[in-house]
Structure formats: C-alpha cells, structure tokens
Amino acid sequence: MVDRVLHRRRFAGAITLASVGFMLASQVAPVFARQATPAIGVATLGWTDELSDDNGKLNVVTTVAPISSIARNIGGARIDLYGVVPDGTNSHTFEPAPSDARVLAQADIIFVNGLDLDLPTMELAEANLRDGAEIVSLGEQTVSEAEWVFDFSFPEEDGSPNPHLWTNPPYAKRYAEIIAATLSARDPDNAAYYAENLTRYSDALDALDVAIASSVTTVPAENRKLLTYHDSWAYFAPRYGFVVIGAVQPSDFSEPSPQEVAGLIDQIEAERVPAVFGSEVFASDVLEQIAAEAGADYIDQLRDDAPPGEPNAPEHTYLGMMIRNMDLMLSALGGNADAVTALSPADTYEGS
C-alpha cells in the first residue's frame, strides 16, 4: 500500500471548474434528441456538466470514464454529471486536484469503482461530503470478496484486487443496475425514466455480451491467450474463455526488470501467442521490444478506461470502448469481430 501511494503521480492536469465552463461553452452541443436511441453521429451529453443546485437535477459525480458513461446512460438528460478523472489519465495513480474538492462538495451522489482503484478521490469525497450526500462504491456491490482476482499487477500480498470489473459486460450491467436503484431512491419523480433507461442500456449490454461470446468462437482456441501491458482483462477472460498469461506492468506502475522482460519473451515464444497488447494510456517501448524479439504482433491501442474518439463523440462511450477493443483484440488473434463491430456504440438514454 505504501508502495502504491509513493508511486501515485499525476499524469495530466485535472479539469478545473474554470475549464469545465469553457468546455461547456465551446464543445458541448445541447442535444436533447427525441428518438429513443440517438443515431450514430449524434453527440452524447458526455460527463462534464457544470453542477448546479438550481435546476432540480441530481448532482452526480463519477471517477473513471466507464462509470461516467454508464451513469450517463441511466441518468440521461435528467442528471448533472461530472467525471473527475480526465481522459487519458492513469486512473490507478490519479490524485484529484484541489479544485475537485469543490466539485465533490456539490455532489448529491458520488459513484466510485472501489476495490482501491479510486481511493484518493474517495477519501477527498469523504472529507468534502455535504449533508445528505452519499458515496456509492460499485465494485464492492458487484462481486464478493471470494470473486476478487489477484494477479500480475495486483498481487495478493499488496492487498488490492484487480479493480477492472467493467471489462466484463455483465458486471457493467450490474453497475448500471446499482446506479439506477440509487438515482431512483433519491429522485423518485424520475424513477420511471431511470428504469426505462436501464432497460434499454441493459439490452445493449446483453447484446454486447452475446456478440463478444459469438465472436470469440472465431478465434482459434489455441490463440485465446492475452498478454497485455496493462492488467485490465482479469474478469473479461474467464467470461469468454480466455487465459490471461501475463501482464507486463509491475504493480508499482514502473517498468519491468530485464529478467522479467527475458521471461516474458520466453513465455510468448513457448505459448505461441500471435499478438501482445499495449494500451492507449500506457505507451510501452518495452512491450514493443518484447513483441519484436518474440516474433509477435504488437497492438498498442487497447483501452480500459479511455473511450475512443473526442469527448461527446458518439463512440466516446463504454460501449464504444469495448467494441473497439474487441475489433483490435479478436482480429489480432485470428478471429472476426464483425458481430461486435455491427453494434452501435452510441448512448441509449432518452433525450429528455
């Protein structure tokens, strides 16, 4: 734990209230589409609303982008939503800025992932929680301790389980259910709206789950192995019959040692893995070098908490992120992801 605290560093400047105002004015088109499902090409509302106590909407604060995206799909246009972890930031080492304290102090509900992922934000939230506000930790309500996974970058001796539950779509659906129940309890007037949004979003997550499962059958069985830089597929793998054979990133988010690199090269050769996977957020020359020496393809664009596209683009969503990941991953391992890429990445909430 001490080790992790020491290694927490800010990788990107946090969004301040002042810059949020700028973004709202300059980038966020007010979209209140009337159709049930926004068509591709229609901007999403994103998660950079300016929080207000004067408009009758719940102020909802979230941490990482997948949770923000899920919360938007349930709360739709009837909540004000602000995600504190900026795009492209290392969420594992993210420390909220002092200005985030003001955002957290305005929240009615703060949804965190928990499982120690967003501990600094949770602590700042607790210190600034206003009367009647609540912090809801999604991970702890989604899996029991018996279901926690400890592995390469999240070893048991450090005490913090792998926190990436959301790469498993049924767990993402559980997050959506908890968010819907929480919003409805605090805002009963809109409970029917949240329930409808949950139904639509659950259908989209079920379709994603089915499409991933069917696409995985096109990947040769011997290729259903993941060696990644960032260790974010621990709960995805058992769901779809993959084995995570390794993660390169050490538990303190430093770089692997020469001995570890040599071991990984041997492992890739022995397992005949056709491709290894880097991440958008964590560029890794080391993994590129490992892949080259082991004769595997290097795919450097998997994402675990940074949706593709610009903020407010239709694919800048949790669904869009998973669709893009499957396209990259399954294709590189010799499969066909057409069933997944045929899905819409767009938000599913009703516009008003």
Residues binding Zn ion (CB under 5 A)? 232, 304
Sign of the Cα torsion 162, 167, 169, 175 reads positive
Give me the half-sphere count of Cα atoms (radius 13 Å) on the Cβ side of residue 72: 27
**Residue closer to Zn ion (CB basis): 166 or 349:** 166
Residue 282 CA to residue 122 CA, distance in Å, equals 24
The minimum distance between CB 199 and Zn ion, in angstroms, equals 29
**Residue closer to Zn ion (CB basis): 304 or 315:** 304
**Residue closer to Zn ion (CB basis): 154 or 298:** 154
Strand partners, 59: 80
Residue 131 CA to residue 128 CA, distance in Å, equals 10
3-class DSSP state of 257: coil
Within 10 angstroms of residue 338's Cβ, the number of other Cβ atoms is 14
**Residue closer to Zn ion (CB basis): 76 or 278:** 278
The minimum distance between CB 118 and Zn ion, in angstroms, equals 11
Within 10 angstroms of residue 275's Cβ, the number of other Cβ atoms is 20
The minimum distance between CB 307 and Zn ion, in angstroms, equals 13
**Backbone angle region of 295, left / alpha / beta, with phi > 0 → left and psi within -120 to 50 → alpha:** left
The minimum distance between CB 329 and Zn ion, in angstroms, equals 16
**Residue closer to Zn ion (CB basis): 162 or 182:** 162
Residue closest to Zn ion, measured at CB: 304
Strand partners, 137: 112
Beta strands in 63-161, from DSSP E residues, in sequence order: 79-83, 109-112, 134-137
Residue 120 CA to residue 183 CA, distance in Å, equals 24
The minimum distance between CB 321 and Zn ion, in angstroms, equals 12
**Residue closer to Zn ion (CB basis): 11 or 134:** 11
Strand partners, 279: 302
The minimum distance between CB 162 and Zn ion, in angstroms, equals 9
Cα angle at 277 between 345 and 326, to 5 degrees?
25
**Residue closer to Zn ion (CB basis): 109 or 115:** 115
The minimum distance between CB 342 and Zn ion, in angstroms, equals 27
Helices assigned H by DSSP within 187-309? 191-216, 236-240, 258-271, 285-294
CA dist list (Å): 147 to 141, 233, 245: 12, 14, 19
**Residue closer to Zn ion (CB basis): 49 or 280:** 280
The minimum distance between CB 325 and Zn ion, in angstroms, equals 13
The minimum distance between CB 281 and Zn ion, in angstroms, equals 8
Residue 290 CA to residue 311 CA, distance in Å, equals 33
